[in-house]
Amino acid sequence: MDMKEILKSGIEQALQDTINSGGLPAGEYPEIVLEVPPQKEFGDFSTNIAMQSARVARQNPRAIAEALISHMNFDWLERAEVAGAGFINFFLKSDMVYDTLKAILNAGDQYGVQPLRARDTIQVEYVSANPTGPLHVGHGRGAAYGSALVNLLRAAGYNVQSEYYINDAGNQIDNMAISIEYRFQELQGATLVFPPKRNEDGSMPEFDIPEGALVFPENGYRGPDIIETAKAIAEREGFDKLNAMNEADRLALFKEEGLKEKLARLEET
């Protein structure tokens, strides 16, 4: 139990003792909130519980604070003082603070780590970039946030599973394969024309298409990594073999081999 919890428990005990002795009426008192004062001379911790309890106790907050202090005789407490309209400032004994520092040093990286609560399982998915292109600095930012969140949740006692979800199905993978096909044709001398962005009304602007040129798919991936992938597959499989295949089979191969290469690069990164 940390010092704030010890102090909070002490205040709760003092409140109950004051009620039992007749110093305060029984009732539903507010939750105890502790704060660290802005200046050291105001103590190690402070609470406004006396002011928050005035409506329930029907007493002056300073009188409530004095009554609570009179029931706070703890080994770890140097003194408690009433301040302002009814704040209570607490001054801890120095050996209590030193003992806590020793505990922190002795525990090392395990200080503050809570016991595992196996039933509280959380899955954190982060980065999970589509395997159609290389990772970039934005993915690195997500990885740093995700990894830190996993570490914090584990330290808090949660049973955490972290996952990089590989979205290796769907239209984006099909578009990758088609993009590799067009880059493969470009490697053999074909001229590619890239369509411009659509107009605000969704229509496609007019653009020139040289005779014999291929229009690159509007949803295709234009990054230079696709060129590298097409070249690597062509050199490995052979241009003659790929050209001898029908288009459907070649696209299937580009899809399978392209995905393997992209995933390998993601893992390397």
**Any idea where the domains of the chain sit in the sequence?**
3-94, 113-163, 171-268
Q: Which CATH superfamily is domain 3-94 in?
A: Arginyl tRNA synthetase N-terminal domain (3.30.1360.70)
Q: What is the phi-psi region of residue 43: left when phi exceeds 0, alpha when psi lies from -120 to 50, beta otherwise?
A: left
Containing 87, the helix (H) or strand (E) segment is: strand 87-92
What is the spatial distance between Cα 56 and Cα 28, in angstroms, rounded to a whole number?
7
Q: Beta strands 117-125 and 158-163: pairing type?
A: parallel
Instruction: Report residue 240: phi and psi, to 5°.
Output: -60, -45
Q: Is 218 helix (H, G, I), strand (E, B) or coil?
A: coil
CB 246 within 8 A of CB 253: no
pLDDT in tens, 65-99: 999 999 999 988 999 999 999 999 999 988 877 87
Compute the C-alpha angle 140/146/151, nearest 5°.
130
Predicted local confidence at residue 110, as pLDDT: 87
Q: Distances from the Cα of 178 to the Cαs of 134, 257, 266, in angstroms?
A: 18, 13, 20
What are the pLDDT tens digits along the chain (269 aa)? 578 888 999 999 999 999 999 999 999 999 999 999 988 889 999 999 999 999 999 999 999 999 999 999 998 899 999 999 999 999 998 887 787 788 889 988 888 889 998 888 999 999 999 899 899 999 999 999 999 999 999 999 999 999 999 989 899 999 999 999 999 999 999 999 999 999 999 999 999 999 999 999 999 999 999 999 999 999 999 999 999 999 999 999 999 999 999 999 999 98
What is the spatial distance between Cα 187 and Cα 33, in angstroms, rounded to a whole number?
70
CB 116 within 8 A of CB 157: yes
DSSP tag of 71: T
Q: Beta strands 77-83 and 45-47: pairing type?
A: unpaired
